[in-house]
Amino acid sequence: MRAPRTRHWPWIAVVVVAVAGAGGSLAYGRGGDGPAKADTGVAGRPVTREGIFQYTVNAVDCTTTCTVRITIKNLSDEPRKPGIAFARAFDPDGAVHLADAVASVRRGTHLFEDLGPRSEVTDNLFYAMPEIRYLELRETSESAGITVTL
């Protein structure tokens, strides 16, 4: 008895369409004169990865705790809340620290509010650590992040 014949052409068609779509997306992706998309950055220069938010680390002041002055610009066409979870700080030993939410609320942060399309806000992030080696900024929770050396 002969085995039933399987049809491979539907799978081939799906692969061809997927590859063509990905290639077209890369070739004709979003244009514009926005900031360069990067995996790394330095303080004082705007950075973005997915083109949702643009971050500029303006200043870092560390004593027993650290305050990071940051400007965030909403590059999208809809209001978005930056929040504070987007920025993780790393100390000289490589330990990760999250921004202090209580300190942010007590000091009246605007990062929990909607940021209008193409608008920007400059505010502070607070960390309960004496020294920051670098920040990792994420535009979304799934983002690979941008490492900003300080």
Q: Is residue 116 situated within a structural domain? A: yes
Single-letter amino acid code for the residue at 58:
N
141 pLDDT band (50/70/90 cuts)? Answer: confident
Q: Is residue 63 situated within a structural domain? A: yes
Single-letter amino acid code for the residue at 112:
F
Query: 78: exposed, middle or buried (C-beta count within 10 Å: 0-12, 13-18, 19+)?
Result: exposed
Instruction: Count the residues in the chain.
Output: 150
Alpha helices in the chain (DSSP H): 9-27, 101-106
Q: Is residue 122 situated within a structural domain? A: yes
Per-residue model confidence as pLDDT tens digits over 35-46: 557 689 999 999
- Structure token digits, residue 149: 């050396």
Residues 34-53, buried b or exposed e (16+ Cβ, 10 A)? ebeeeeebebeebbbbeebb
Closest Cα partner for 90 from 59, 136, 23? 136
Domain count, the chain: 1
Contact of 135 with 45, CB cutoff 8 Å: no
Q: Is residue 1 situated within a structural domain? A: no
Q: Is residue 3 situated within a structural domain? A: no
> Which residues constitute the domain of residue 86?
40-149
Per-residue model confidence as pLDDT tens digits over 10-68: 444 444 444 444 333 333 333 444 555 768 999 999 999 999 999 999 999 999 999 99
Q: Is residue 26 situated within a structural domain? A: no
Q: Is residue 132 situated within a structural domain? A: yes
Model confidence at 95: pLDDT above 60: yes
Q: Is residue 65 situated within a structural domain? A: yes
**What is the domain-level CATH number for residue 112?**
2.60.40.1240
